[in-house]
Amino acid sequence: MSNIKLGIIGSGQLGSLLCQAAKKLNIKTVVISDDRQGPAQNYSDEFIFTEYTNQDKMKEFIEKVDIVTYEFENIPIEILKRIDKEKRVIPKPEINQIIQNRKLEKKFINDLGIKTTEWAFVKSFEDIKKNKNLLPGILKINTLGYDGHGQFVLNSLADVKKDWLFSSDYILEKKVNLNKEISIIISRFNKNEFYTYEPIENVHIDQILKRSKIPAVISNEIYKKAQANAKLIADKLEYIGTMCVEYFIDQNNNLLVNEIAPRVHNSGHLTINAFNLSQFDNHVRAVCGLSIEKIEKIANAEMENVLGKEIEVYRNKSFSDKEFFFDYKKKVIKEKRKMGHLTTLKE
């Protein structure tokens, strides 16, 4: 059906699921990763293990592929730009440049007239003192954070550790009194061709996603606004592919953007079983320039992340025909590491 070779940067579960979606379309995949054991090599046609700074290996990767996409946003921007000179990187590197930097990301969203949490860019204890109206708050490393890494809860100024050198930049965000968290997955092919999945309701424990479900129990107004904001963000970015907008809903029913993920997203895993075309199918189709197909919901669903040692129990379980267990086949079990997920279809 197609002779496209898709390059994927990163070899975790998102990469694995992208490779599986590509396979269904006869699209060949080449995964490049700095994780020798990355599970996506079980599903890709080719796997290149290397540090991303290795010029020779990168050249080899570029020569092998037609288009490049990525499963995580924390790739040094120079590397994306270098690849993009020879083979198109989609979503384009400029998008990544904004989103991998919390300050630029929040400013971009606020400039669209969309609310985020209240925040300030901070570089020192003095800066935090000046913004103590944001306490209790969360200090987040400005770049390269994920799954709560690089985040510190600050209830008061006393929680700022004396020995912090502030070698990195941070943003300080006011802690939101959460009513709930939702996310929107949107797959955009071009300005007029896109699909916005319905809002997904998410539960995080210790800053890591634990559970997602559809339908989200929210008002019609929030449903519409969450989708419209995601469309506006995607349009402004001229985004191609699947992206996610994570939202907070506070106790006064304000809808606030938490963050954007310029990629397929954990909260969208239930789309694999609950829709005829998943976030992964649509990402591959969009970045490879295929047409948008009619997207339909099959059922309501719940998804549970399997973290750390929980995987041992799941590996020995049997499942009903409404339950879909995904084992990411990670060789090493680590506490809180995402090891798999279970999607259950509901009435």
Binding site for ligand ADP (CB under 6 A): 117, 138, 140, 145-148, 173, 175-176, 178, 181, 204, 207, 246, 258-259
Length of the chain: 347
**Contacts (Cβ under 8 Å, ≥6 apart) of 23:** 29, 43
Residue placing its CB nearer to ligand ADP in the complex, 42 or 254: 254
Smallest gap from Cβ 175 to ligand ADP, in A, equals 4
Asked whether the bond before 39 is cis by omega within 30 degrees of 0, the reply is no
**Contacts (Cβ under 8 Å, ≥6 apart) of 274:** 214, 297, 298, 299, 300, 301, 343, 345
Smallest gap from Cβ 69 to ligand ADP, in A, equals 20
Smallest gap from Cβ 63 to ligand ADP, in A, equals 33
Residue placing its CB nearer to ligand ADP in the complex, 49 or 146: 146
Smallest gap from Cβ 336 to ligand ADP, in A, equals 12
The separation between the first and the last C-alpha atoms of the chain, rounded to the nearest angstrom, is 35
Residue placing its CB nearer to ligand ADP in the complex, 119 or 239: 119
Smallest gap from Cβ 258 to ligand ADP, in A, equals 5
Residue placing its CB nearer to ligand ADP in the complex, 53 or 253: 253
Residue placing its CB nearer to ligand ADP in the complex, 153 or 298: 153
Residue 129: both structure tokens together:
């003192």
The pairing of beta strand 241-250 with beta strand 208-214: unpaired
Residue placing its CB nearer to ligand ADP in the complex, 69 or 117: 117
Contact 208, 224 (CB under 8 A): no
The 170-174 sheet, strands edge to edge: 119-122, 170-174, 137-141, 151-154
Smallest gap from Cβ 146 to ligand ADP, in A, equals 5
Burial of 35 from C-beta contacts in 10 A (0-12 / 13-18 / 19+): middle
The pairing of beta strand 137-141 with beta strand 170-174: antiparallel
Residue placing its CB nearer to ligand ADP in the complex, 281 or 304: 304
Smallest gap from Cβ 248 to ligand ADP, in A, equals 6
* Paired residues of 302 in beta bridges: 213, 344
